Chains A and B, each alone.
Chain A
Amino acid sequence: MVLLGIAIIVAGFLLRFHPLLVILASAIVTGLAAGLDPLAILAAFGKAFNDARYVSIIWIVLPVVGLLEANGLQERARGLIAKMRGATVGRFLTFYLILRQMLAAVGLTSVAGHPQTVRPLVAPIAEAAAERQAGDLDDAEREEIKAWAAATDNIGLFFGEDIFLAIGSILLIKGLLEQYGISLEPLQLSVWAIPTAIAALLIHGFRLWRLDRRLTRRRAEGQP
């Protein structure tokens, strides 16, 4: 019965209902199915919301991003890339991927991110580079390049952070295994994140290289 909440979430997202209402419905149904009374569900949800406030503090960077964009940050990024020979969107994003993986691997996960670096810097630079490669971009392509920038940030973060000893997921693994009487040092766990990190770099780097080829070929074909 408690799985009804999961069914509601999946169906709600697939049918594109308002996500906030879907979450509320799922919480109520799950709680009721588990025999909680409505006020207890509301209190549990409220407590969890309050404990998770740190998730939303990242928005304080928006005033800085807004100020810089109003003063021409994206235009400047475009101007800078225009002067760099050999700068392509694929090469630039691969560079950013490696940088993000390395920063995350030494525990610096919050140094970069979507509001901090992707919106003000990475996306406009990627867009400018792609524009130069392909000649001109239509709206759909512009969207695609921005999405590549965001995707690259996520992949760099996810497959870099577990190399760091004191990241949440490594500590979670250590804590859970101790419950089963298996004692491990964080270092024993984090070294095994390295093979996947390398594979992530190779796979995503290859896809970025293909993106470059596609953009350049389009220019050669002289399409609009």
Chain B
Amino acid sequence: MITLHWVYALAGAVFAAFALLGARDRDNPRRWTTAAFWALLATSMWAGDRLGDLGNGVLVLGLIALGALGLGRGDGVVPPEQRQARADRFGNRLFVIALVIPVTALAGTFLFKAAPDWFDAKQATLIALALGVLIAMTAGCLWLRAGALVPLQQGRRLMDCIGWAAILPQMLASLGAVFALAGVGDVVGGIVQQAIPQGSLLGAVIAYALGMALFTMIMGNAFAAFPVMTAAIGVPLLIRTYHGDPAVVCAIGMLAGFCGTLMTPMAANFNLVPAALLELKDKHGVIKRQVGTALPLLIVNIALIYWLAFR
């Protein structure tokens, strides 16, 4: 059966290729740290399950050390005139290949679920996404008459632009696990309970929604904030004392947390990684564009809980 482990194997191969090509990239002033970083990530993808918890911890320390030493990037950009000439020559073929990945992911999500003996149905989209990458890469090389190394070289160039930020989301998720282990949530919940105004329904609603947004900003993840805030305010006050509809309180409370996700660098995969991927000079450029939507939407969420949950 095809499971997520096949995808990890593929990802390991891609990172290993980035490492090998990176080691040969003489334009990159820090090619050895860069290559070692991607090689460690390839090791994690390939052998993570066999390293044991402590082994993985040491691997993470290695990634942090290399990332802190600094990764570099080389050159390899195709000159604009050449890209324009190729764009004129290949035309809409380029879009067709670009759409292969989302279309395969879409089709695979449904088709793979129909064949549960062959594919791990729970991971259908990620498996289909990986398949889409393989199809698009093969089709691209043949149709655009590119050598097999071209996608890997160009992919490595983009990867080096992102650098160590590529593992930030995974690192923050791991930090969340340590926080959970240390019981950070319970402590925060206790503080919040003391801070809410007594006897005011609107005050309690605001405290819940604002608390969701703020704690999500600190943790980078609404999933981490939700159990804490719901245990501190949602269930005891809004649901039990004021008899709010639990479905409304929780569903919209979670979305108030999502407003916080839009405003924090801690949600690296949504906010910092795209800035690196789009080669923005301002790391917080994406967050700045999101605040103007997130703040009014947070107010809307407070109003919605207040009106809809206590009819």
Interface residues of A (CB under 8 A from B): 2-3, 5-6, 9-10, 13, 18-21, 23-24, 26-27, 30-31, 33-34, 36, 39, 41-76, 79-80, 107-112, 114-121, 123, 143-144, 146-151, 153-155, 158-159, 162, 168-170, 172-173, 176-177, 180, 182, 184, 188-190, 192-193, 195-196, 199-200, 203-204, 207
Contact = CB atoms under 8 A, between A and B. Distances in A.
B136 interface: yes
A204 B60 CA distance: 38
B199 interface: no
Nearest to B215: A6
Given A53-B45, A120-B98, A169-B222, A192 B251 contact: yes
A210 B293 CA distance: 13
A162 B157 CA distance: 35
Contact of B273 (A18, A114, A203): A114
B92 A76 contact: yes
16 contacts: A9-B175, A21-B68, A49-B59, A50-B53, A56-B169, A59-B14, A59-B166, A61-B129, A64-B155, A76-B92, A115-B277, A118-B274, A158-B262, A168-B223, A182-B246, A193-B251
B268 to A, nearest CB: 8
A108 B132 CA distance: 15
B301 interface: yes
B173 A60 contact: no
A30 B146 CA distance: 50
Contact of B83 (A10, A74, A180, A193): A74
Interface of B: 4, 7-8, 10-11, 14-15, 41, 44-45, 48-49, 51-61, 63-64, 67-68, 78, 80, 83-92, 94-95, 97-98, 100-102, 105-106, 109, 125-126, 129-130, 133, 136-137, 140-141, 144, 146, 150-159, 162, 164-179, 181-184, 187-188, 218, 222-223, 226-227, 230, 235, 239, 246-248, 250-252, 254-255, 258, 261-262, 265-266, 268-271, 273-275, 277-278, 280-282, 285-286, 288-290, 292-293, 296-297, 300-301, 304, 308
